[in-house]
A and B are shown apart, each in its own frame.
With several copies, the nearest count.
Chain A
Amino acid sequence: MIEITDQPLDPARVTNLVRRDGNGAVVTFLGTTRDHFEGKRVLRLEYEAYYDMALKKLEEICREMQQEFGVEDVAISHRTGLVDIGQISLIVAVAAPHRKEAFYACHKVVDRVKEIVPIWKKEVYEDGSRWVACEDHEFSPSQGAAAETPGH
């Protein structure tokens, strides 16, 4: 199951989608919005998605997990729009007969979501905002339109 929604995410619902009696291990990742960036207080986040392509890339990631780990039971739920601090922006649930595959596949799904899925996050501060990029390696709020790193 994959979805992109502007409604609050429900970890129990997403996790239960992958549970089956043959699966002994379920690993769930929750990405939650942090309250600070380089000492600045973040007030809230705004997520924007290129929906058609994002859904397609999420489907690709699920297929990758099947090929790489033999894992079939994957659920990904991504939130868009305004998200308050401490709320969940991403849920990835993976189930497998054994824990090793479940842990590896869940971790890999999260990495891949952050690499290839066209969704963007804007942090809003008291005195400004910035589009987060590539795991915070790129922009700093003080630099404004600073250099981007090529490729992602």
Chain B
Amino acid sequence: MKIEVRFFALYRERAGCSRASLDLPAGATVADLTAEVRRRHPGLAPPEVSIVVAVNTDYAEPDTVLNERDEVCLIPPVSGG
């Protein structure tokens, strides 16, 4: 299945893109997605840092199963205020 991913702030700058379309097997999880993102963009985050993902505007656990048409965003450490 195809998953559209958005990149914000630090991740957008490091990835050099604000959106990407990933091919993932049906039943893929958030952890599968971040693994694929790291493969494509090795400089995005150091290995010891977990990449936080939002699915449909909520923080998602690594074992969350993804579906086509989910709104998936990579969330670098927030710093509002």
**A residues neighboring B (CB under 8 Å):** 31, 47-50, 52-54, 56, 78, 89-90, 110, 113-122, 131-135, 138, 145, 147-152
Contact = CB atoms under 8 A, between A and B. Distances in A.
B81 A134 contact: no
Q: Is the interface of A mostly helix, strand, loop or mixed?
A: mixed
A132 B10 CA distance: 9
Contacts of A47: 80
B45 interface: yes
A120 B9 contact: yes
**In terms of DSSP, what is the predominant structure of the interface of chain B?**
loop
24 contacts: A47-B80, A48-B8, A50-B73, A50-B75, A53-B57, A53-B58, A53-B73, A116-B78, A118-B78, A119-B78, A119-B80, A120-B8, A120-B10, A121-B80, A131-B10, A131-B13, A131-B79, A133-B79, A134-B78, A134-B79, A147-B48, A148-B77, A149-B49, A152-B52
B80 A90 contact: yes
B43 interface: yes
A113 B80 contact: yes
B49 A148 contact: yes
A120 B10 CA distance: 8
A118 to B, nearest CB: 5
Contacts, number: 94
Interface of B: 6, 8-10, 13-14, 43, 45-46, 48-50, 52, 54, 57-59, 71, 73, 75-81
Contacts of B46: 147-148
B54 A118 contact: yes
Nearest to B9: A120
A120 B50 contact: no
Contact of B50 (A116, A135, A138, A150): A150
